[in-house]
Amino acid sequence: MIRAFLLLSTLLLFAVYDVHAQKSNTPFYSISGQVVNAETGEPVALASFVVNNTIGVVTDQKGAFKLNKLKGGPITYNVSFLGYSPVERKLVLSADIKDLRIALTPLSLGLEEVVVTAQPTGAGSTSKIGEEAIRHIQPMSIGDMFQLLPGNLSVNPNLNGVGQAAIREIGSNANNALGAAVIVDGAPLSNDGNLQALSPSLAGSASNQSQNGMSDQTTAGKGVDLRSVSPDNVESMEVIRGIPSVEYGNLTSGVVIVKTKTGSTPWEAKFKADPYSKMVYAGKGFTLKNGSAINAGIDWTQSFGDTRKRYLGYDRISATLGYSRSFDVAGRPMLLRLNGSFYSNVNNSKTDPQMQVTSSTFENKNIGARLNAEGSWKINGAALTALEYGFMVSQAYQSDRLHEYVASASGVISNTLKPGAYEGIFLPSSYYSDYEIEGKPFSVYLQVKANKIIQLGGGGGEFYQSPGRSRLAV
């Protein structure tokens, strides 16, 4: 029995040693090379080189990179950097690869093909609107871009009423807070209800009395006013019409994901005018010496629903300033994007020169600023593959004032409740009625997502998992 036990133990030890030897003999290879500008041939520093979406490195000042201990077999590598078109290629790794030269093409505003409709992605419930399609319709706000989605009506761009996202909806509701979530540069705009209205518990939508025509200038109880986001500095807009992930937060009818421009872009100036509106825009993206980039834009827009009633018009000025950079943190690539934006309606006091001096005066102010920070860090560690983060803080000031002249026939009132003859009080035949609604909404948002990718043996697939979503890629 003792001999049999010793013999069996010896065989098991040899088997374990053989398996370990086979694993230790698994071939590992390395890839090294250089990333350059396809037009000038100059090296691209701090470019991201990632293999199979798991292991990555960033290039040095000479554009050189090297990645060791890669398993043999079919691999897919991605190379990207701000301001350049990303490159994705496949190859079979069976030996060390040296002097791999990868040319990145700078992004340009001139494209060979113009797509003027939203392109479906994924399973068909998501549509993406590119920059060329946005230019084609010349929108006044991102709300005008929804006409490119399947099933939406085409309308003339205007800013005369509140612009809101309508996804999978057939009507409106005065208390329809939440609604569609609007995500700008990784952070949602607040779509909660507010109290900027007369009797919000009853009406929920009128900022002023309906007869003065200003009731369409508020989103009280209805979510986000899309007029506060200028479309001229938007790079793309993605709309999820199906059931979105829980990571997008409070919503009831889909998600709108807006990405503003980043990286180096040429000078761009726009001017458009029609009988009801005017718009002027200027923007530029700059590349700094350390590889980072700054992108800035400013626009002024004016719109009238009825040129005979110019006091009902809407004037807006908005500005954006973005900063983006790729870092090498502990040998792992990290992307950081900062974006600050400001918006305000101007010419807030509204009246009509053709009215009498004693007529009404309306004043509507909507001023706000936002600061966004978003990015990712490809850790490629044993516990985590990547971290993604998003932060936003916003402050707004909203005010509605009405100075209204009221004229009526002379009236008489009395302070007695008993029948009989008493002295009466004559009311004035005319007077001014004044009221003001004022609010200062403040919002803070923070989100951190951890991703883990587990590679299934043989290079046959990867399992990607993060909060709220997972998929098996083969």
Q: What is the pLDDT of residues 120-148, one digit of tens each?
A: 665 557 888 887 787 777 787 887 787 77
Q: Are residues 381 and 310 in the same domain?
A: yes
In this structure, of 180-189, 273-282, 306-315, the range with the lowest mean pLDDT score is 306-315
What pLDDT is stored for residue 108 in this prediction?
62
**pLDDT at residue 419 tops 60:** yes
The answer as to whether 17 is a domain residue is no
Residue with the larger pLDDT of the pair 420 and 405 = 420
Output phi, psi for 473, to 5 deg.
-105, 125
Q: Residues 265, 388: one domain?
A: yes
Number of domains present in the structure of the chain: 2
Residues 6+ apart with CB under 8 A from 371: 338, 339, 340, 392, 393, 394
Task: Report residue 186 as tokens.
Answer: 């990784």
Say yes or no: 72 and 29 in one domain.
Answer: yes
Give yes or no for a contact between 344 and 337, defined as CB atoms under 8 angstroms apart.
no
- 121, 254, 332, 406 from 242: Cα distances, Å: 12, 6, 35, 51
Place of tokens 């040693």: 17
Same domain, 71 and 99: yes
Same domain? 238 vs 332: yes
- Does pLDDT of 205 surpass 70? no
Q: Do residues 215 and 165 both lie within one domain?
A: yes
Q: What is the mean pLDDT of residues 150-171?
A: 67
CATH number of the domain that residue 63 is part of = 2.60.40.10
**132 plus 34 within the same structural domain:** no
> Among 324-333, 361-370, 382-391, 404-413, which stretch is predicted with the lowest mean pLDDT?
404-413
Is residue 87 over pLDDT 90?
yes
Average pLDDT for 320-341:
87
Which of residues 392 and 71 earns the better pLDDT score? 392
154 and 64 in a common domain: no
104, 137, 160 — which closes off a domain? Answer: 104
Residue 469 — very low, low, confident or very high, per pLDDT cuts 50/70/90? very low
Compute the average pLDDT of residues 386-390: 88
Q: Are residues 358 and 390 in the same domain?
A: yes
Taking the C-alpha atoms of residue 447 and residue 389, their distance in angstroms, rounded to an integer, is: 6
Decide if 2 is inside a domain: no
Taking 50 as the threshold, does the pLDDT of residue 400 lie above it?
yes
Q: What is the pLDDT of residue 282?
A: 92
Query: What's the whole-model pTM score?
Result: 0.63
Residue 319: which pLDDT band, with cuts at 50, 70 and 90? very high
**220 in a structural domain:** yes
Q: Which domain holds residue 95?
A: 24-104
| Cα–Cα dist 148/137, whole Å | 9
424 and 374 co-located in one domain: yes
Helix H, strand E, coil C: the string for 188-205 is ECCCCCCCCCCCCCCCCC
Strands 126-129, 119-121: pairing is: antiparallel
Average pLDDT, the chain: 75
**Is the confidence at residue 73, as pLDDT, over 80?**
yes
* Single residue among 70, 104, 138 that ends a domain in this structure: 104
Looking at 78, 104, 130, the residue that finishes a domain is 104
Q: Rounded to whole angstroms, how far apart are CA atoms 49 and 238?
A: 26
**At 284, which helix (H) or strand (E)?**
strand 277-287
Does residue 14 lie in a domain region?
no
Number of residues in the chain? 474
Query: Quick one: 177 and 82 in the same domain?
Result: no
Using CA atoms, how far residue 223 sits from 91, 162, 407, in Å, is 49, 10, 37
Same domain for 407 and 295? yes
Count of alpha carbons within 13 Å of 55, Cβ hemisphere only? Answer: 14
Residue pLDDT, tens place only, 40-66: 999 998 889 998 888 888 898 889 999
Predicted pLDDT of residue 11? 42
Asked if residue 205 belongs to a domain, the reply is yes
